Structure 1
């Protein structure tokens, strides 16, 4: 007659005759024969125990992990241990009265903790750290429950170790995320006093409650990790102004405004936020929600401007009605939001200082100065002829600086009208409700690259000098001052000091941005870098456009090295690009090199001013070079300069 049934991962067994079970055990130990009435799981376990030659004695010579490893194991499973400690503390009198030994094992059957009462003698506390796998102790409820992933009750004579034949034992697997994470094991000697069903109920209660507890704890930990990873400050605030919860960023902001007392406890917001009754949080307790609204928070330390969302949380009262008992507030500093938007818009450095190609002493000196300047936080002025690589150097400085995680935003001072330039730089209020930040604000925390700064109108330069000196900015049409934390990297094709001497550039602004001046050498003074630059340009072009790598002949390279390059690296880039895309073979000869880039000698420059201007720029505005490139005399060239109305 079958005396057990399987139900919901639980092997429920009716009480067995212990004398018969002891007889079955002894027959097996003497002859190896298994009676058909032996539970199949036990029978299989007996056979394996014999194969492993496990001694049927006490817990002798069990391999225990070291104290250090046991401590590490207990730290790893602290959540489960804490739960078991709390649970067993509530039933310690029950455990002691019935002399119960309760063990917490991991999924590998290593004993994490023994929760037996101090008077229990069934198992020594040294059992902690021991492994109760079948190959170590033979047939036992814990290793059967682990193998079959089911609660299992075992009667004394079924236990492999003879010393425990006068005990009963049961074990239940604890599932976490669908896998067995722990085994709860109980050993009872006074089984006549305590019904089997009561102990099984105890095991099932611990198993079920622990699974629920660990699932909730994992969920809370995941939620907390998500909240800590968000770029927002999140708070749960009670009606009296106490902060019940703050994520990591929220806690750091509370600490920053002095909202934590000496015991690191959050102070009441009424005592910290001076305008608390005028904030969206206070309005939230009146049932007024707000979604992504600008809010001002005034504290003793400073005034903050945030984008704030407040959601009221309703609670049920005893009379069945609802009232708002707390609010959830999600805030982000406007400056952080701008930085986030700047990154999303691609306002990051594209080049490092290592990407600057060159072995010449002039190039190495420039890179060394750039690295030293990057480590400081002073504004920087880059000066050099057009096309010498000022923008790439600025990117490299930003990437090598402590501001690398901030935005890198560019503005060209010569591309727009003064009115638009002022709005683009400082921001402006448009109408009653709309106010746009300028690039100075958007670059806060990072770098603003101001290209062709020598073309900055005097009135704008004067205002910029004031804002940089005070580290505060006012948008056009507003009186509100906003703090800025920005580094200026200014670039100029001309000599700003001479422009100041001629009153053509604001002297105060020059003093601010010229704390560190880096001169970029023209390409003609670093001719030994031309082969490396050429190889780098070809590699970038072929990789970008997925075409075969091309090489220059020795004559072609000599031609490049002998040329003066009035347009510097930018002109070299144009010439190489033209050659790469116009030559079908993998070899570029001297005949394939057109020093005018896309402007060919047979171009209709005599009839087309745009083509003539491109040739003029290619020659760097040098009359002799342009005459040589176009194959005409200087007299003929002057006639076309006059024709097109060009002033040298």
Structure 2
């Protein structure tokens, strides 16, 4: 609050009147009056600021360091007006929002204050009425005349204080004391105070903005550079600095070198073209250095002044780059190419299950390729996820491909990638899985020519996209799964032997469910828990008779079939308890007449029964003679 000049003699009388009788004159400013009353209540005894208790030198040093930006800014500001402060004997203080004096910027010859007061606290309970604690309370600039100050030693001074606000909160308080109020007009001191306040607020907001901006840039998965026309790097974020250090572009003094000196093909890069005003958006760029060659996705934006014309010179560019390998990994994670299951999700107490998990744990700790073998539905995909999550590649992508799902031509493109036209080239799953794991399901169905090509690529750790002659490095672990015995297929020349040798460094056999019947109750409970969490329904339980029935069944479709049966029961039974009578061992296939007209339904029922005629006849409620008639009708072979 800026106040008009007051009659000092009257102000002295107001102060003395209150000091003697405790009576407040109506002409006393309300903020001052309230402060006087509280000062009297606290019985302030200090005569000068130098009488106040101070924090230790170490505490002051820590506090000043915490507010380093503000302290240094004020130092720079006052260095330019030092002669002015000395000529008019002005005292200038920087306080934090708790009214601790961080720094005294007065001249060493100042008659009012000494450097010793740094670390003192100017709250009302310590010094009584003073401009700083009033400005702090009301968050407003306040001018106070000498006789209004509680400490009599400063009654021949005037004082003003202004809060420095950042994001709507008081961060600091600038306080000035002036004794030569007749020589230096009040308006001049207030103008100085407001100038410091405004400039400091702008500076601190900009600094906060830049700190936030730098934190954001350091957190991005991109390397960001600001490059001057001569090739000097004016700024780089954390990732960019690490990449520059990797190619020797940062010297011993932590200064970045000129890109002309470290990037051998600098004049052929989008950065160099950017100084001609040519932008580049998400372009694949090769950077050649003496250390190694990088392939990045690069964006370059020329920086011009706001009023610059089209033909004006570009003085700097901003470049944003990301290694292609990192981009693929980022895309893989964004697309959900991550493990869904851990090894802990594989339940079982049987000896065969325990042995399988032990081998999986040992295999996960190594980095060699793995072959999972077992009947369909035994849980090869879940085990592969668990191995990936337990291994050193867990932060990398987990990408799957089913070798029996697509034609050989499409399968080759999916694995190795392909160039489509002159401009577009797509990576394959071997590249996308680089740094992680590629799960190859039904690898026994891989065509011989593709198997041979894959074996060579895995051996050399390099690939060629279809339609290209550019070699690309891959770093991938293969987890192959097979429903059949790959070794026997190799002996019959039905599978590539070299690829078998590569993927079978570690072989894990998954036992069929019928050989681990004691695990069925645990598996059932685990499946029920997962279904409850997935569909957010109430937990259901099976009766003892229902579990016994499941344990006695042979499960030709293994765990996958068990899951389908339980899932069907969960969604068809309305009660919380599932009885044996409510379980259909054919899952969602009902023993009605639809199988008599629909071959697909009959085939699924046939598979559910494991190709056992007697079992299927019982499940469908028909005679064996009737069943044989439909087997012949549909041309089904066991």
SS at match of 2:45: coil
Is residue 314 of structure 1 aligned with residue 301 of structure 2? no
Are the structure 2 counterparts of residues 376 and 111 from structure 1 closer, same or farther at C-alpha, using a change threshold of 3 Å?
A: farther
For residue 49 of structure 1, what is the aligned residue in structure 2? 39
Question: What stretches of structure 2 of length at least 5 have no aligned partner?
Answer: none
Q: Which residue of 2 aligns with 1:168?
A: 158
TM-score by length of 2: 0.93
The counterpart of 1:92, out of the listed 82, 85, 94, is 82
**2:19 corresponds to:** 29
Identify the residue that residue 415 of structure 1 maps to in structure 2: 405
Q: Offset of 1:330 from its aligned partner?
A: 1.8
Residue 496 of structure 1: how far off its partner (Å): 2.2
Decide whether aligned partners of structure 1 residues 318 and 336 sit closer, same or farther in structure 2, where only a CA change above 3 A counts: closer
SS state at 2:113 partner: coil
1:177 paired with 2:167, answer yes
Corresponding residue number in structure 2 for 1:492: 482
Distance 1:68 1:362 in 2: 66
Deviation at 1:480, TM superposition (A): 0.6
| Structure 1 position 433 matched with structure 2 position 418 | no
Q: Check the 8 A contact 2:163/2:174 in 1, yes or no.
A: yes
**What is aligned with 1:108?**
98
Question: Are residues 1:234 and 2:224 paired?
Answer: yes
Q: 1:393 to 1:66 in 2, by over 3 A?
A: farther
**Any idea what the Cα deviations from partners look like across 1:404-458, whole Å, max 9, x if unmatched?**
3322211001111111111111111122222211111112222211111121112
CA distance in 2, matches of 1:201, 1:372: 75
CA contact (8 A) 2:50 2:117 kept: no
Q: 1:13 aligns with which of 4, 13, 18?
A: 4
What is the match of residue 107 of structure 2?
117
Q: Which moved more, 1:273-282 or 1:144-153?
A: 144-153
**Whole-angstrom distance in 2 between the partners of 1:33 and 1:409:** 84
Partner of 1:260: 250
Change (3 A) 1:577 1:40: closer
Q: Which residue pairs with 2:288 in the alignment?
A: 298
Deviation at 1:97, TM superposition (A): 4.0
Correspondence 1:399-548 to 2 at 5 A: 399-548=389-538
SS at match of 1:324: coil
Against the structure 1 CA distance between its residues 569 and 28, is the aligned structure 2 distance closer, same or farther, given a 3 Å change threshold? same
Q: How many equivalent pairs are there?
A: 638
Given candidates 585, 597, 608, the residue that maps to 1:618 is 608
User: What's the offset of the Cα at 1:602?
Assistant: 4.3
Deviation of 1:18 after TM superposition, in Å, equals 3.4
Q: 2:65 aligns with which of 75, 81, 105?
A: 75
Give the Cα separation in 2 of the matches to 1:172 and 1:473.
68
| Whole-angstrom distance in 2 between the partners of 1:269 and 1:381 | 47
Asked if 1 retains the 8 angstrom alpha-carbon contact of 2:50 and 2:116, the reply is no
Alignment partners' CA distance in 1, 2:134 and 2:149: 11
TM-aligned CA distance change 1:436 to 1:197, over 3 Å: same
Q: CA offset at residue 46 of structure 1? A: 0.6
Q: Which 10-residue stretch deviates more, 259-268 or 534-543?
A: 534-543
Quick check: 96-105 or 403-412, which moved more? 96-105
Q: 1:542 offset after TM fit, Å?
A: 3.7
Question: In structure 2, do the counterparts of structure 1 residues 13 and 485 end up closer, same or farther at CA, with 3 Å as the change threshold?
Answer: farther
Corresponding position of 1:350? 340
Shift in Å at residue 601 of structure 1? Answer: 4.1
**Which consecutive unaligned segments of at least 5 residues does structure 1 have?**
1-9
Q: Give RMSD over aligned pairs.
A: 2.7
- CA deviation after TM superposition for structure 1 residue 632, in Å: 7.1
2:272 is paired with a residue of what secondary structure? Answer: helix
Deviation digits for residues 273-307 of structure 1 (CA, Å, limit 9, x no counterpart): 11111111111112222222222211122222222
Contact preservation (8 Å) 1:408, 1:446:
yes
Aligned residue for 1:250?
Answer: 240
SS of aligned partner of 1:83? helix
> Could you say if the C-alpha distance between residues 353 and 243 of structure 1 is closer, same or farther in structure 2, counting changes exceeding 3 Å?
same
**Corresponding residue of 1:7:** none
**Aligned-partner SS, 1:448:** strand
Task: Flag the 1:630–1:39 CA change in 2: closer, same or farther, 3 A.
Answer: closer
Q: Distance in 2 between matches of 1:511 and 1:65?
A: 74
State TM-score, norm by structure 1: 0.91
Specify which of 29, 40, 65 is matched with residue 39 of structure 1: 29
